[in-house]
Structure 1
Amino acid sequence: MVDTVPRTQHRPGLMLALLAFAQFIVAADYNIVYVALPDIGHALGFTAQSLQWVVSAYAVAFGGLLLFGGRLVDRLGARRIFILGAAIFGISCLVGGLATDPGVLITARAVQGLGGALLSPATLTLVNIRFEEGAERNRAMAVWGASGSGGLAAGALLGGLLTNAWGWEWVLFILVPMALLAAVAAPVLLPADERSQSGGSFDVPGALLATAGSSLLVLGLVSGPEAGWGSLRGVGSIGAGVLLLAVFALVENKTREPLIPMRLFGNRSLVTAIVVILVFQSALAGSYYLFTNYMQGVLGYDALEAGLAFLPLTIISMGASLKITGVLLGKWGPRATLFTGMLINGTGMIILALGMSTGATFWQLVPGLVVWGIGGGVTFPAMFVCAASGVAPSEAGIASALASASQQIGGAAGLAVLVAIANAGLNLDSGATPAVADVSDGLRTAMWIGGAASVIGGLLAFTLKKPGSAAPAAADAPAQQSDELGAVSH
């Protein structure tokens, strides 16, 4: 089953509000547990080595199952998978919040990753197939992107507030009513899925290979810093993952109904978007982690103060997505918009890195946070506009999953690499506590390297085709649709 019905027909503003809300939930979860990790470790008896699995179990399941989830969206319908993913996500958050030992929490986080792997491509697919390509989709993607970029920053803010006020459990409990509300609202606000006319079979071998390969690749990336890059779990998992994905590509070329139609990789916009997303998320994920550790480990902020430090970034990134991205896409097209967003994003990270000294005040860090927020807010929706360009509705789910998978793999790789850079030179093996100045230098170095990678990655935008009819598309948007979307944006 697949969504092939006409585009938005009624209540597009309410539908977009629900899709943006779902994106906010998934994005906020990405960062919400970070500042709560010390409290989780103390309360449940995690070891220093096992605590990372509170984050990694979710990342491995999410990244590994995204391609499978995307194809389910195409086969069974985006609304059905949206409801299923939101329900699994909410229930697993409840179980995780009630956990009293490490095993239960890690398992719940893995199941939560499954929910995210269903919900994320379903949400993005609904934005892409229910809003016409051009100005209409650009405005919808701006709202969706504002929720995503804002959710990433708000996750850290909420994590600090909730951990300080009610305990670590509430970083998971807060997501329960949000996810279940999305599941309940979906049948009312989302158009029903229509039955596909193709009746094709599901590519089971491809699904198994893609899931195993992606999971092992993410497992190796998140395990390298803790288990060692030369370990079986580090380089071994990465090697096995790459091998299985290579076998997967061979199998897909010989399958009549492939999980990922190889013709998708002939779409220059999609391929460019995948690579840019990989670079952008590599810098972003690692930098959020670095900044959180700088706030707490160098400046001595508690969980609440560290969370509040993300407030400017949250507000600025959401505002940039809502107010700037759509305008730039309409006037400049995706090439210039994507490059500009990545350039500003990387510049903001470098400015922030220059201010990250041992005696810095918060106000010295604000300029970097503001510039970083503008760049991220513009880049996030622009990347996914490019990923959806020219993709058929029947393949929107798997295209969305490819874009989201690159986001997860990029996040895991960036975190591993930037943390390794930050820790380089620290005497971690001897058991001695590194000097605060050394920690600050390492975090600052890793931050500016992440910023430089973002700037360089922005050059990839020029591999996109030059815009042909971006301006006319903006002029032809229906007035009623513009009014309804404007109501959501404001």
Structure 2
Amino acid sequence: MTSPSSTSTTVPRAEERWTALQWGTLFVLCAALFLDALDVSMVGVALPSIGHDLDLSTSSLQWVVSGYVLGYGGLLLLGGRAADLLGRRRVFLTALAVFAVASLLGGLVDSGELLIATRFIKGLSAAFTAPAGLSIITTSFAEGPVRNRALTIYSSCGATGFSMGLVLSGFLTEAGWRWTMLLPAPVAVIALLAGLKLIPKSPRERGEGRGYDLPGAVTGTGAMLLLVFTVVSAADAGWASLRTLGSFAAVAVLLAAFVTVEQRSSHPLIRLGVFRVAGQVRANIGAATFFGSYVAFQFLVTQYLQNVLGYSAMQTALAFLPAGALVAILSTRMGPIVDRFGTPRVITFGFTALVVGYVLFLRINLHPSYAAVILPSMLLLGAAFATAFPSLNIQATNGVKDNEQGMVSGLLNTSFQVGGAIFLAVVTAVVTAHTGHGGGKQAVLDSYRPGLWVITGIGVLGLLVTVSGLRRRRPSYGLLVASSATEPIREQQVDATRDDAQVAARD
């Protein structure tokens, strides 16, 4: 049963087949998420060529990557709430159009500063398309097997886009780095035109419940932007520098102000009660540790393959291909598995595969066998992404009222992106601290090993948080939770104990 505030789109029953319109809508949303994820990882292999053509230093090059993450991670909370308030379809299509224009400009500019600016704009637009797209799905498909299937396909497209980013970048960089910037433009235009026809109109919040919470938007977005900026720039400024410490203090002040505003606001940007639900907390911590550890792993492995083993851009791309291929193969098969075993068990399996993959990669040396040393880790990481990524999305959005789907979607995506930025910066700082003055490939490899251990530790942390959700949990998924005092009780397949459910009902 859906809430009274659901969209006018007819929601199919679990046993009904999807209509062509529903498949078309899901295709458009998947295309947008694929592009968002693709842009996060695709630029990596092209960075040396970009630096050479635009005469950018290493510190400037990092902002080609960080500029995107800054816009994406910093504005996701605002993007999620904007989808609820302004209409999901309107926000999604407008942001997708901005993404297409910025992609085109990014491939044409001749200035490093302008390229970084276009990357920031693309990240900003992704901050609106991602939560809007996810909330369109969760308000258009009935909770349970039908929605789980849709979310599995949707999330797997994002995981595939991220995994395949390096592969595509390797091919495109051979023709010229500008193609890595230009490729998303025509795909985004096609998705935009299809979206105008296929995505159903969604209502905006009406009546007394509608509000914009501008103070919350300013303090919350400002805190996220400053946090990401501080972390990614700390490597250059120094973690103990006055600027870095001052920035972290400012982040703390902004976060405190944000919490105060949200507690007093009648229309909060984030309903703080969601953090009292253990399933929500585990989903967001899991998202941050899962994606954060993998972003750092991909960064170090790319450097290892090229700087230590002497791989070309194409060879590096092909080395990551098994992981991306496995995600694509498993993308449409996870829905029934989640329905049968529940999100906590599937996420636990994903984190276990992730950690084992990291541990096996610790065996690397100056002359490793790809089949015996590298390939097993790639396959395990592919299995981890295929299982954990969609399950985290399902766990975070199940049991949430339709008018808050954009909010929780934005919160989850913020955890993904901010986790990626923070943990990448931490691992980079560890590697830099262990970089010796001597030369040679062995010295480079020795500097990477502490970073790989930190990555493994981050994965273990996420696994422990996930395992905590298995305690006291019964096999039955028919937990009844009241979404609010005025809504009918809905049957949910959520990761929550009875105590968590009672807190969610009170909120």
Alignment TM-score, normalising by the size of structure 2: 0.87
Q: Distance in 2 between matches of 1:310 and 1:326?
A: 25
8 Å Cα contact 1:333-1:467 kept in structure 2: no
Instruction: After superposition, give the CA deviation of every residue in 1:153-207 in whole Å (9 maximum; x if it has no partner).
Output: 111111111011x211111100101112221111211111224333522111111
CA shift for structure 1 position 424? 3.0
Residue of structure 2 aligned with 1:362, choices 367, 370, 373: 370
8 Å Cα contact 1:423-1:439 kept in structure 2: no
Aligned to 1:330: 339
After superposition, where does 1:187-336 map in structure 2 within 5 Å?
187-198=196-207, 200-323=210-333, 325-336=334-345
Distance 1:439 1:98, change over 3 A: same
Residue of structure 2 aligned with 1:377, choices 382, 386, 400: 386
CA shift for structure 1 position 393? 0.6
Instruction: After superposition, give the CA deviation of every residue in 1:69-104 in whole Å (9 maximum; x if it has no partner).
Output: 111100011111110111111111111111101111
CA shift for structure 1 position 403? 0.4
Q: What's the C-alpha RMSD, in Å, of the aligned pairs?
A: 2.1
For 1:276, the aligned partner's letter is G
Secondary structure at the aligned position of 1:293 is classed as: helix
Q: Distance in 1 between matches of 2:433 and 2:157?
A: 35
Secondary structure at the aligned position of 1:35 is classed as: coil
Distance 1:471 1:146, change over 3 A: farther
7-16 or 217-226, which moves further after superposition? Answer: 7-16
Q: Distance in 2 between matches of 1:442 and 1:7?
A: 56
Alignment: residue pair count: 466
Residue of structure 2 aligned with 1:466, choices 461, 470, 473: 473
Residue of structure 1 aligned with 2:8, choices 5, 8, 13: 5
For 2:154, the aligned partner's letter is W
CA shift for structure 1 position 466? 2.8
Q: Distance in 2 between matches of 1:123 and 1:472?
A: 27
Q: Distance in 2 between matches of 1:206 and 1:167?
A: 43
237-246 or 387-396, which moves further after superposition? Answer: 237-246
For 1:312, the aligned partner's letter is P
Residue of structure 2 aligned with 1:442, choices 432, 439, 447: 447
Q: Kindly indicate whether residue 188 of structure 2 is the aligned counterpart of residue 183 of structure 1.
A: no
Aligned to 2:29: 19
8 Å Cα contact 2:84-2:204 kept in structure 1: no
Alignment TM-score, normalising by the size of structure 1: 0.90
Note the residue ranges of structure 1 that are not aligned, 5 or more in a row.
477-490
Q: Distance in 2 between matches of 1:463 and 1:75?
A: 35
8 Å Cα contact 2:37-2:158 kept in structure 1: yes
Q: Distance in 1 between matches of 2:205 and 2:312?
A: 53
8 Å Cα contact 2:38-2:162 kept in structure 1: yes
Instruction: After superposition, give the CA deviation of every residue in 1:16-42 in whole Å (9 maximum; x if it has no partner).
Output: 222221111111111010111111111
Q: Distance in 1 between matches of 2:192 and 2:245?
A: 39
Q: Distance in 1 between matches of 2:204 and 2:111?
A: 44
Aligned to 1:413: 422
Q: Distance in 1 between matches of 2:268 and 2:479?
A: 36
Distance 1:309 1:91, change over 3 A: same
CA shift for structure 1 position 242? 2.5
8 Å Cα contact 1:160-1:306 kept in structure 2: yes
| Aligned residues with identical type, % of pairs | 34
Note the residue ranges of structure 2 that are not aligned, 5 or more in a row.
13-18, 481-490, 492-507
Aligned to 1:455: 460
Distance 1:233 1:393, change over 3 A: farther
Q: Distance in 2 between matches of 1:114 and 1:54?
A: 14
8 Å Cα contact 1:274-1:406 kept in structure 2: yes
Q: Kindly indicate whether residue 177 of structure 2 is the aligned counterpart of residue 168 of structure 1.
A: yes
